[in-house]
Amino acid sequence: MLLWLGVLAACVFGAVAAPAAPPDALSIPGTESQQTFDLLSERFPGAKSDGAQARLVFVAPGGQQITAEPAETAVEKVLAGVAGGAQVKNVLDPFRTGAVSKDGSTAYATVNYDATSDDLTAASKAALTDAAGAGRAAGITVEVGGSALHSKPEMGGLTEVIGLAAAAVVLMVTFGAVAAAGLPLLTALIGLGVGVAAIIAIGMSTTTTTLALMLGLAVGIDYALFIVSRYRSERIEGYSAEQAAGRAVGTAGSAVVFAGLTVIIALAGLSVVGIPVLTDMGLAAAGTVAVAVAIALTLLPALLGFVQTRVMPRSFRRDPAGAEAQVRTADNAESITATSGGKPGVGTRWAAFVVRRPVAVLLSGLIGLGVLALPVTSLELGIPGDESQPSSTTQRRAYDALADSFGPGFNGPLTVVVDGKDAGDPKTAAEQAGRILTATRGVVSASPPVFNKAGDTAMITVVPATGPATSETKDLVHTVRGEAHDLKAATGATMLVTGTTAVNIDMSQRMTDALLPYLAVVVGLAILLLMVVFRSIVVPIKAALGFLLSVGAAFGVIVAVFQWGWLAGLLGVHQSGPVVSMMPIFLIGVVFGLAMDYEVFLVTRMREAFTHGHSADDAIAAGFRHSGRVVVAAAAIMMAVFAGFIGGGEPMIKMVGLGLASAVFFDAFIVRMTLVPAVLALFGAKAWWLPTWLQKVLPDVGIEGESLDRPEPGRELESVRV
């Protein structure tokens, strides 16, 4: 315990002493949009700013002109109020830049800051909103868009408190003892503290802690829950605290190691995508999961040494011998084929129901999940902007005002860069590019080329006729990129496209291209790992296919709610639109790890019973009797934690919460608790078959506890009484 407290203190000290990490920059190496950004930074030094930007949108009262009095004076007062801010770099006056709509009713001013949106002070943001309020008081409509008022989506705070409270309630119901319920929470929080502090100490940005916070809490509670549950079972069977702790770590702890390895594989596999931010998030979360495993194997047994009997049910604390006798009676009854003895528990009765009707149960589950997954066929990926904000926000009203006055494509212009370094005449090449763009269907306007100092590179701003999240604008990007080949052939100049829509397309394409390799690497390694654990061919393959079903159904729910708008109002989703580009890979990585957790926790007890002489059907019942309650508790905790995020204000946070909560429900209750026993019942003893040649190749980890020295329960019971 002292060792872990020392590690925690060292990590916290390192985090406090570490310099501030640089702000995250979304980069997609190898894509045209990233290549264009890099070219802009090289050829137009100083033109590209990493600072925050605000766009003040001014709308005159009905029938009036924004360029006429008194509206013009009100606009100037607003701009003067903003320009004096400490972090303001410059303010572009709309009357000087010509940023006024054709009908003269609307104008917009751009405010550039020296600091990023994350580093803007509360005073700077307050000055912006106060100036806008002064404009409204003067009789004009003023709305604020851009990144200045954006706040980083937070995964912690109230949602984490709600999740912890829900976890505490579930643990109390599961264990019926305060000490037993408190240990998983305590170890999870210590592991979370070590993991997050270490991430900050090594210089990674706080954004990378998002996934680590979520999964660190989830697996930290799950792993401790599983080991404490096994410890209680061993104590009730008559073993001393030391023997029970050793057996719990030797069996449930071994399962935790392999469950943790599957999670780590899934998270580290995010590096396959090739997006640095996502890679950092995956590796940071994988490290936090590794800490959770280490704490479950070392700190948790140490803490059990302090609360040896206090984690046990009240009946055991009163009469250990009586509790053991009840377990013996239950063992005789917990058989699917039993005709006498005690009354089977809920887990055994459910297992018996599934085993008697495996085909009907399997078909029902497959059809149900298949129907839920149907919306995936219309999945569209994108990067939601201000159009996804509630209409009550100033960002959304600014977006709508610009779309109404300047056209829907004004909120998502394309930046076209013409690299004429290899062209005979860069100016002629840029002018020809402008003519091609102006004549392209779907383009409202193309600005005159703006050249760099060297005169070999030009930048053209293209305004599409449609909004940034529409399929028509995406098609336009593909069209312009196709026209670049004609320009190259005619002039030797290279035409590249970037901007929000182009980045969106490249991000979506990168995610789509990486999906199959990611699944192949993660699922393939996990199948090999599960073969080592279960000594079986059927069980690992079934586990992987079950995961695909549950994650497909979860994606179906996401598409139905966020893209189609079903039940959107009930969940606080104000605008339907494309699914966030990172969501598929993100969801797959998290859900795969949790799904394998539930698979290992439930099926290892079945494997243990089978190797100890139970029939295939009775082994299923034994697995449910020993681990069914634990899996239900773990899933309920995770659903509560993730569902808390649905109440978040950001669409991305809502999407993450709903997707993960749905996936955990489908995987734990439909796949693991229903389809898994049905498949095992259909295969019978063959489910545990492994070819002889493969048995010789794969290591035997003895996760069933056969290699453990099991002393006579009677002798250990005597030591408990003494």
Q: Is 641 in contact with 533 (CB distance < 8 Å)?
A: no
Task: Tell me what pLDDT residue 721 has.
Answer: 38
Q: Is 191 in contact with 7 (CB distance < 8 Å)?
A: no
Q: Is 185 in contact with 171 (CB distance < 8 Å)?
A: yes
**Confidence grade of residue 718 (pLDDT, cut at 50, 70, 90):** very low
The share of the chain scoring above pLDDT 90, in percent, equals 38
Distance CA 258, CA 530 (A): 8
pLDDT for 18-33, tens place per residue? 887 666 666 788 889 9
CATH label, 53-146, candidates 2.160.10, 1.10.8, 1.20.1070, 3.30.70: 3.30.70
Question: For residue 341, is pLDDT > 60?
Answer: no
Angstrom CA distances, 46 to 92, 436, 461, stand at 17, 28, 18
Distance CA 159, CA 648 (A): 8
Distance CA 447, CA 434 (A): 8
pLDDT for 584-615, tens place per residue? 888 888 888 888 888 888 898 898 888 888 89
CA 436 to chain centroid: 42
Task: Tell me what pLDDT residue 530 has.
Answer: 86
Task: Tell me what pLDDT residue 611 has.
Answer: 86
**Confidence grade of residue 160 (pLDDT, cut at 50, 70, 90):** low
Q: Residue 237: helix, strand or coil by DSSP? A: coil
DSSP H or E run through 106: strand 106-113
For residue 664, give every residue at least 6 positions away whose Cβ sits within 8 Å of its Cβ, in sequence order, or none.
591, 594, 635, 638, 639, 642
pTM confidence score:
0.81
Judged on CB neighbours under 10 Å (0-12, 13-18, 19+), 455 is: exposed
Task: Tell me what pLDDT residue 722 has.
Answer: 32
Question: For residue 103, is pLDDT > 80?
Answer: yes
**Confidence grade of residue 714 (pLDDT, cut at 50, 70, 90):** very low
pLDDT for 611-629, tens place per residue? 888 899 999 998 898 888 8
| Residue given tokens 């680590």 in the structure block | 212
Residue bearing the bigger pLDDT, 84 or 404? 404
Task: Tell me what pLDDT residue 437 has.
Answer: 94
Task: Tell me what pLDDT residue 696 has.
Answer: 85
**What average pLDDT score do residues 692-710 get?**
71
Residue bearing the bigger pLDDT, 76 or 704? 76
Question: Could you say which architecture CATH assigns to the domain 413-498?
Answer: 2-Layer Sandwich (3.30)
What does 17-78 look like in DSSP terms, one character per residue? HSPPPPPP----TTSHHHHHHHHHHHHSTTTS--S-EEEEEEEPPTT--TTSTTHHHHHHHH
Question: For residue 374, is pLDDT > 90?
Answer: yes
**Confidence grade of residue 719 (pLDDT, cut at 50, 70, 90):** very low
Of 382-391, 559-568, 644-653, which gets the smallest average pLDDT? Answer: 644-653
The share of the chain scoring above pLDDT 70, in percent, equals 90
DSSP, res 415 = E
Residue bearing the bigger pLDDT, 41 or 704? 41
Task: Tell me what pLDDT residue 656 has.
Answer: 82
Task: Tell me what pLDDT residue 324 has.
Answer: 58
Of 533, 506, 647, 649, residue with least CA distance to 599: 533
Helix axes 276-306, 254-268, angle to 10 degrees: 160
Question: For residue 339, is pLDDT > 50?
Answer: no
**What average pLDDT score do residues 641-652 get?**
72
Q: Do the first three CATH levels of 53-146 and 413-498 match, i.e. the same topology?
A: yes
Of 267-276, 506-515, 637-646, which gets the smallest average pLDDT? Answer: 637-646
Q: Where are the domains of the chain?
A: 53-146, 158-312+344-378+505-697, 413-498
Judged on CB neighbours under 10 Å (0-12, 13-18, 19+), 418 is: buried
**Confidence grade of residue 707 (pLDDT, cut at 50, 70, 90):** low
**What average pLDDT score do residues 436-460 get?**
92
Judged on CB neighbours under 10 Å (0-12, 13-18, 19+), 310 is: middle
CA 252 to chain centroid: 27
**What average pLDDT score do residues 212-218 get?**
82
pLDDT for 472-504, tens place per residue? 888 999 999 999 998 999 999 999 999 878 888
DSSP H or E run through 188: helix 178-201
- Mean pLDDT of the residues in the chain: 85
| Residue given tokens 């399997």 in the structure block | 362
Q: Is 368 in contact with 670 (CB distance < 8 Å)?
A: yes
Task: Tell me what pLDDT residue 346 has.
Answer: 81
Phi, psi (deg, nearest 5) at residue 707: -80, -10
**Confidence grade of residue 322 (pLDDT, cut at 50, 70, 90):** low
Task: Tell me what pLDDT residue 29 has.
Answer: 86
Judged on CB neighbours under 10 Å (0-12, 13-18, 19+), 364 is: middle
390 preceded by a cis bond (ω within 30 of 0): no
Helix axes 209-236, 320-333, angle to 10 degrees: 100
Angstrom CA distances, 130 to 61, 66, 133, 151, 522, stand at 20, 20, 5, 18, 51
**Confidence grade of residue 469 (pLDDT, cut at 50, 70, 90):** confident
Question: For residue 426, is pLDDT > 80?
Answer: yes
Q: Is 118 in contact with 147 (CB distance < 8 Å)?
A: no
What does 290-349 look like in DSSP terms, one character per residue? HHHHHHHHHHHHHHHHHSTTTTS-HHHHH-HHHHHHHHHHHHHH--TT--SSSPP-HHHH
